[in-house]
Amino acid sequence: MAGGTFTARNKVRAGAYINFVSAFSPLGTVSDRGIVLLPMAVPFGPVGEPVTVDGETDVRAVFGLSSLSPELKLLREAAKRAREVIVWRLSGGETASETDGNLTVTARYPGSVGNTLAVKVLEPEEADAPYTVQTFLDGRLMEEQQAETVDGLQDNQWVAFSGTGALQPHAGIVLSGGTDAEPEDADWEDFFAAAKRLSYNTMAVPSSDASIKQMAVSFVKEMREEEGVKIQAVLPNIEADYEGIISVKGGVKLSDGTEVSEAEATAYVAGMTAGAAVNKSNTFESYDGAVAVLTPLLSSEIIKGLNAGQFIFIERGNKVVVEQDINTFVSFTADKGEAFRKNRTLRVMDAIANDVRATFEDHYLGKCANNADGRELFREELFAYLTQLYELQEVERPELADITVSRGDTADSVIVEMGVQPVDAMEKLYMTVTVG
């Protein structure tokens, strides 16, 4: 007797043809968040390329600075809430170097930190033994190697060696000439061009320059509307009237006395926004480590700022909290209502856009037939995904009837219409107490 499996029901021989298939389970999942893109002007490290920093990163090995140094204030603020920070060093400067005899030592990267580098060449204790060559950063031993000639030296993450001939003992070759350059418009243009190809949730733009801020607004609109990449950017004090832009109004003072300006606070808000779960609002969320705002606002000023789409910090007891988790969108219409100004709601909508796109491209595009069965399968996929969001309290309970997947004008296109009601957080309490 014949048997086996089947694709089409066209078997000739008698027999049992049995297929084993999995019960339906969604291929798409709710995407992770927590990645910030942070452009910075720092005095060491790679220029014009992304450097990912997380909880395991030794920042001294990357930037030549202590994690507590003033130059890394922006990174510290972003890292308070972000899972990862992609740092982009905007500009370089001159590179420190020094030549002694036949040995030239050059800092690996441009910037003033290169002036704190030094190299020692220790004479061997035994005849015919190699020299010990040590690299120091600000007096701290960072790397050590053995070699007999200059040609035999290996570059490290701090310095590069050049020259020929035998090594000579030296008590300390101290590098000099390293300088820092201020970022120019061209550096920002390069940054935004590169940012199109990086993956992140939120970008900080810690600049008060009007032209830089306008670059950022145009960039975010292009990414969201033309590329379909649902990011947000955090800028200082701007009236952009766009859901992809968050405008920080005012700075804060930290418990150690450090002042974080309005522009610098964009790094923290970017980390807070990226790190917030899709079902989480940052309204009344504390600013970690802050004890006061730099410029307290009157209630009337706060109301005016909120109506203008400003992200405002207020003092509450001995801490600083977010007044409302909103973006700059204020021109409400029938098609695009007030819900779009709430960042929690926008995170849900952006998650749906990003996740559905990824699911379609990874599992359906070019793989699933565009017939009734294929479209029904995709419809069930969408319903299962929305059910995940419902279980996470991100949307109201979905109904399969609210989702339609139909054939488009061409044989390879599908049209999806889907009704979704994002869940917002409780923010306003209206209570009437009747006293008898």
The identity of residue 5, as a single letter, is: T
pLDDT at site 391: 83
pLDDT at site 31: 57
8 Å CB contact between 21 and 35:
no
Q: Provide the token pair at 143.
A: 């790397």
Q: Which tens digit of pLDDT belongs to each residue from 191-242?
A: 999 999 999 999 999 999 999 999 999 999 999 999 989 999 999 999 999 9
Distance CA 17, CA 33 (A): 46
Distance CA 346, CA 233 (A): 13
8 Å CB contact between 248 and 290:
no
Lowest mean pLDDT across 298-302, 373-377, 390-394, 398-402? 390-394
Domain boundaries, the chain: 35-90+182-322, 97-174
DSSP 361: I
Q: Which tens digit of pLDDT belongs to each residue from 294-309?
A: 999 999 999 999 999 9
Task: Return the CATH class of domain 97-174.
Answer: mainly beta
Strands across the sheet containing 131-137:
140-147, 131-137, 117-122, 170-174
Residue 26 has pLDDT above 70, yes or no: no
Q: Which tens digit of pLDDT belongs to each residue from 69-79?
A: 999 999 999 99
Which residue bears the tokens 């917030």?
A: 276
- Decide which of 27 and 204 is more confident: 204
**Reported pTM:** 0.84
Q: Provide the token pair at 386.
A: 């929305």
Distance CA 93, CA 178 (A): 7
For residue 177, count CB atoms less than 10 angstroms from its CB and return exposed for 0-12, middle for 13-18, buried for 19 or more. Answer: middle
What long-range pairs does 60-67 form, CB within 8 A, spacing at least 24? 60/137, 61/157, 63/113, 64/111, 64/113, 64/114, 64/116, 64/137, 64/138, 64/158, 65/113
Q: Kindly give the residue spans of alpha helices, DSSP state H, lying in 289-391.
A: 299-307, 343-359, 372-391
pLDDT at site 365: 86
CB neighbour list of residue 280: distance below 8 Å, 6 or more residues apart: 344, 425
The mean pLDDT of 114-134, rounded to a whole number, is: 92
The whole-chain average pLDDT of the chain stands at 88
DSSP 129: P
- The end-to-end CA distance of the chain, in Å, is 87
Distance CA 345, CA 274 (A): 14
> CA 176, 177, 182, 183 torsion: positive or negative?
negative
> Strands 290-293 and 310-316: what pairing?
unpaired
> Strands 252-254 and 97-100: what pairing?
unpaired
> Strands 245-249 and 232-236: what pairing?
parallel
Q: What is the CATH number of domain 35-90+182-322?
A: 3.30.1370.220
Residue 411 has pLDDT above 50, yes or no: yes
pLDDT at site 345: 87
The percent of the chain in helix, strand and coil, each rounded to the nearest 5, is 25, 25, 45
Q: Which tens digit of pLDDT belongs to each residue from 347-362?
A: 888 888 878 888 888 8
Kindly report the backbone phi and psi dihedral angles of residue 405, in degrees, each rounded to the nearest multiple of 5, phi listed first.
-125, 115
Distance CA 257, CA 291 (A): 9
pLDDT at site 17: 44
Q: Provide the token pair at 215.
A: 């670059």
Distance CA 375, CA 69 (A): 56
Number of other CB atoms surrounding residue 162 within 10 Å? 15
Rg of the chain (C-alpha set): 29
The mean pLDDT of 394-421, rounded to a whole number, is: 85
Q: Which tens digit of pLDDT belongs to each residue from 164-193?
A: 999 999 999 999 999 999 999 999 999 999
Lowest mean pLDDT across 217-221, 229-233, 268-272, 397-401? 397-401
Length of the chain as a residue count: 436
Lowest mean pLDDT across 312-321, 383-392, 418-427? 418-427
Kindly report the backbone phi and psi dihedral angles of residue 272, in degrees, each rounded to the nearest multiple of 5, phi listed first.
-65, -40
List, in sequence order, every residue forming a beta bridge with 109; answer none if it has no partner.
none
Which residue bears the tokens 């390069």?
A: 190
Residue 434 has pLDDT above 90, yes or no: no
Give the model's confidence band at 392: pLDDT under 50 very low, under 70 low, under 90 confident, else very high: confident
Percent of the chain exceeding pLDDT 70 equals: 90
